[in-house]
Amino acid sequence: MKLSVIIPVYNEVESIQVILKRVQDTKLADEIVVVDDGSKDGTRDVLASLDGKKGVRIILHEHNKGKGAAVRTGMAAAKGEILIIQDADLEYDPRDFPQLLAPIQEGLADVVYGSRFLGRAHRVTMFWHLVANKMLTLMTNILYNTILTDMETGYKVFRREILNGMVLHANSFDFEPEFTAKILKRKYRIFEVPITFNPRDYTQGKKIKLQDAFAAVWTLIKYRFVE
């Protein structure tokens, strides 16, 4: 099955070439769709030299719209039968691709989440982010009667066909709860697999903020009762 890797990127000039090489080194991606979301730090200059090389396709947003908007643009452009969302900030390791793909390739799952909380190696940092992630996952499980361990994970892998008829609206980090709510309501088979995780902190450019957690709460509640 053809694999498309979608990389939303905003102001990641220090890491974009590194993550592209790591994805390419897996030798699993048939195409890499990079959506630059209005970067202003030189990322776009780097990407201009990479477009069309080694399976890389570059799409530019003229101004910053948010991670969700960039992911939606990438999903619309991707041609693969399986899609992986890969953050550009080096927190997630493409060497986990084989484990993430296996449940779909074996016919066991329609969607796979890479869980940061199932026992693999991870950097120790930012307790309150952990608390927020755990609380949002607990709310997801209560509202949608499931047993996820990591709803907010950036590693989401899925068959393209699950997007048929699904309208996604999120422009920011609320993509994660909106996507999760809609696949749970549609009863798709979801597997979680453990992944390694190397989180960065705000001094290193981390972008998600406290207000994004409140937006996620509202999104989870809203889509429990609509669509």
Q: What is the CATH number of the domain that holds 132?
A: 3.90.550.10
What pLDDT, in 10s, does the model give residues 151-183? 999 999 999 999 999 999 999 989 999 999 999
- Domain of residue 206: give its range: 3-225
CA distance 227 to 225: 7
**Beta-bridge partners for 122:** 197
Identify the pLDDT of residue 8: 97
Q: pLDDT digits over 98-151, tens only?
A: 999 999 999 999 999 999 988 766 665 667 677 888 999 999 999 999 999 999
Give the per-residue pLDDT at 47: 96
Reference 113, options 96, 100, 98; nearest CA is 100
Q: What is the pLDDT of residues 173-223, one digit of tens each?
A: 899 999 999 999 999 999 999 999 887 555 555 556 667 777 888 999 999
Mean pLDDT over 71-100 rounds to 97
Task: Encode pLDDT of 31-44 as tens digits.
Answer: 999 999 999 999 99
**What per-residue confidence (pLDDT) applies to 96?**
97
Given this model, what pLDDT does residue 203 score?
Answer: 52
Q: Is the pTM of this model over 0.75?
A: yes
| Side-chain-facing half-sphere of 18: CA atoms under 13 Å | 11
Question: What pLDDT, on the 0 to 100 scale, is given for residue 124?
Answer: 55
How many domains does the structure of the chain reveal?
1
Structure tokens, 168? 């996604």
The confidence score (pLDDT) of residue 121 equals: 60
How far, CA to CA in Å, does 141 sit from each of 29, 79, 109, 156, 194?
32, 32, 19, 17, 18
